[in-house]
Amino acid sequence: VRLLFLKLSIGLGSLWMLYLASHLDTDKVSGFTRSHSWLEYTDEDGGPEKVCNCSGILQRDQESLEQAKLLTLTKTFRKRIQIPDEFYINETRDCRNFKLRRKYLTFPLSKEEEDFPLAYSMVVHHKVQNFERLLRAIYAPQNIYCVHVDKKSAPSVTSAILAITSCFPNVFMVSEAVSVVYAGWSRVQADLNCMADLYNASTKWKYFINLCGQDFPLKTNLEMVRMLQSLKGSNSLESESLPAEKRWRIHYVHNITDGKIKKPPPFNLPIKSGSAYIVVTRGYVGSVLKDSKIKDLTNWFKDTYSPDELIWATIQRIPGVPGSKWPSRKYDQTDVNAFARLVKWAWHEGSQDSESAVYPECQGNHVRSICVYGAGDLQWLLQNHHFFANKFDTATDPIAVFCLEKHLRHKALAEAE
């Protein structure tokens, strides 16, 4: 029947293709149509934020930015943008309609992307709306996604995310969830558990990318694939020499109150400083899971402070790890230069003529010294080479996410044509 439909579609034009896509959402219809306009995000796909002028916002039109800023300050707007977890549980009772209404891409947009699948770990603990919009923005049927929901999360959060993931054959909940503690080993363990599940689930994916629920992409899937191909098997993550002010993190045991000094790292490995977020090859993940030297290093890190900001950066500089760099300072890579993640820290913000400033001032608000992006940050964000940015919060300001969604979907469909 599907073959018959596809033959008929050649002669019936775009109207038939809309019908075909609606009823056979797993077919690779991209090769049979010149227009994917039915997959474009329109203002009707938004909530109360749809009144904003996204084109003006992306061009930093002051009137559009002021309108967006004023809107986020009104009580009515802030109340209307709250979406209860139960909404997603009810919406996903009919998965087919859910995917159609939310305009998920259910076929690869290009052969190039189909032949270069990616693997994602997504560690979340709240804000289901953030998670769902992130998933939709990065979803492609050739990719594979492991979702780790914190064991401490509210039952409604776990139920809603489980309901969403059950609608997709290539999205699954981690086999073993842990209770994540900030700056503790459990944050690393959450990603390790997803790494193992992804590694065992498929041999086809090329690169691993880990995310949290308040990330959002700055690139289309095709852009990421092409940038990853340009790496020629290298990894892209922050990895620098450990600064003096952070050495206390590894010199003391942090799960014992007597302040016992730790033993030196195994094999005299130089400990590096970095980020919890990485873009690494399947080979790197295989080494993390199987290499005995790395397993010893993993055990050594378990009682350090914030090991997620040390372990991946250190493994990246171990000779022999696929995609790694030599431990010499010459190969140090900062977060600004790595593909993985763009974060605005309050103490690095400033004006462009400031010699010490790394990036312009936050146009949203700060949470724990990290910028939660507003609409005014979008133009600057899109000028950078990073794959993802952190943080976004649809519960306080969905406008930045809404405009990014529209921009990236339009760009992805234009690339496909």
Q: If we measure between CA atoms, which residue out of 227, 246, 184 comes closest to residue 340?
A: 227
Q: Of residues 113, 309, 355, 415, which has the active-site annotation?
A: 309
**With 70 as the cut, is the pLDDT of residue 4 above it?**
no
Query: Which ranges of 166-231 does DSSP label H, i.e. alpha helix?
Result: 185-201, 221-231
C-alpha distances in Å from residue 139, one per residue of 207, 339, 345, 347: 15, 19, 28, 34
Taking a C-beta distance cutoff of 8 angstroms, is the pair 57, 128 a contact? no
For the chain, the average pLDDT equals 90
Question: Is 309 part of the annotated catalytic residue set?
Answer: yes
Beta strands in 206-324 (DSSP E): 207-212, 215-217, 239-241, 272-274, 279-281
Place of tokens 């593909």: 339
pLDDT tens readout for residues 264-291: 888 888 999 999 999 999 999 999 999 9
Token representation of residue 246: 């952070």
**Per-domain boundaries in the chain:** 1-35, 36-40+84-232+341-385+387-416, 239-331
pLDDT number for residue 299: 95
Burial of 360 (0-12, 13-18, 19+ CB in 10 A): middle
In DSSP terms, 390 is beta-bridged to: 215, 343
Phi-psi group of 141: left, alpha or beta (phi > 0 → left; psi -120 to 50 → alpha; rest → beta) = alpha
More confident residue, 242 or 86: 86
Does residue 263 have a pLDDT over 90?
A: no
Residues 35-63 have a mean pLDDT of 92
Handedness of CA 215, 219, 225, 226 (dihedral sign): negative
DSSP letters for 15-77: HHHHHHHHH-TTS-GGGG-S--GGGS--GGGSSGGGGS-HHHHHTT-HHHHHHHHHHHH-HHH
In 3D space, the residue among 183, 203, 150, 192 whose CA is nearest the CA of residue 297 turns out to be 192
Helix (H, G, I), strand (E, B) or coil at 405: helix
Comparing CA positions, the residue from 215, 213, 209 lying closest to residue 231 is 209
What pLDDT is stored for residue 201 in this prediction? Answer: 98
Which element (helix H / strand E) includes 282? helix 282-290
With CA atoms as reference, report the closest residue to 145 among 163, 169, 164, 119: 119
For position 5, what pLDDT does the model report? Answer: 36
Average pLDDT in the 88-99 region?
98
Mean predicted confidence (pLDDT) in 177-185: 95
Q: What is the mean pLDDT of residues 222-228?
A: 98
Residues 6+ away with beta carbon under 8 Å from 285: 119, 195, 198, 199, 208
Per-residue pLDDT tens over the stretch 138-158: 999 999 999 999 999 999 999
Q: Answer for the pair 193, 148: CB distance below 8 angstroms, yes or no.
A: yes
Question: Which residue type is seen at 83?
Answer: I
Q: What is the pLDDT of residues 18-43, one digit of tens each?
A: 433 444 444 444 443 456 788 999 88
E strand map for 157-271: 171-173, 207-212, 215-217, 239-241
**CB-CB contact of 249 with 304 (8 Å):** yes
